[in-house]
Amino acid sequence: MSEELLKRYIAVDNSLVHYDEGFLLESLINIEDSQGTRRVLSNSSYELTLMHVSQFQEDYELVGILQSLRPKLIEIFIKQIMMIGVIVLRNNIKRNQLLN
């Protein structure tokens, strides 16, 4: 993934760029801070185990790990967008060839 392409999807001043939350990937990218990450962890834990994550457990380590994934999630998002663009382009070329 080129750094130039990544820069387009990450704000220059390190503020968060907001992504459409229609899909899980974009929702994960939009988690803004430690508080939001803890909320996602707690809600996910409750959905899966009927128990919230305790702050006395490995909560802080998990928060750091999840927050460190954001650049890779953005990279995956960009690759998906590029793949969709290639598919649309190929379909347009095929359609034009059929019409001619």
pTM above 0.75, yes or no: no
**Long-range contacts formed by 9-16: CB under 8 A, 24+ apart:** 9/74, 9/77, 9/78, 10/71, 10/74
Asked if 18 and 30 touch (Cβ cutoff 8 Å), the reply is yes
- pLDDT of amino acid 8: 52
- pLDDT of amino acid 84: 83
- pLDDT of amino acid 44: 85
- pLDDT of amino acid 90: 84
What confidence category does residue 39 fall into, taking pLDDT thresholds of 50, 70 and 90? Answer: confident
Position 21, amino acid: E
Asked if 62 and 53 touch (Cβ cutoff 8 Å), the reply is yes
Q: Which of 5-9, 33-37, 70-74, 86-90 has the lowest mean pLDDT?
A: 5-9
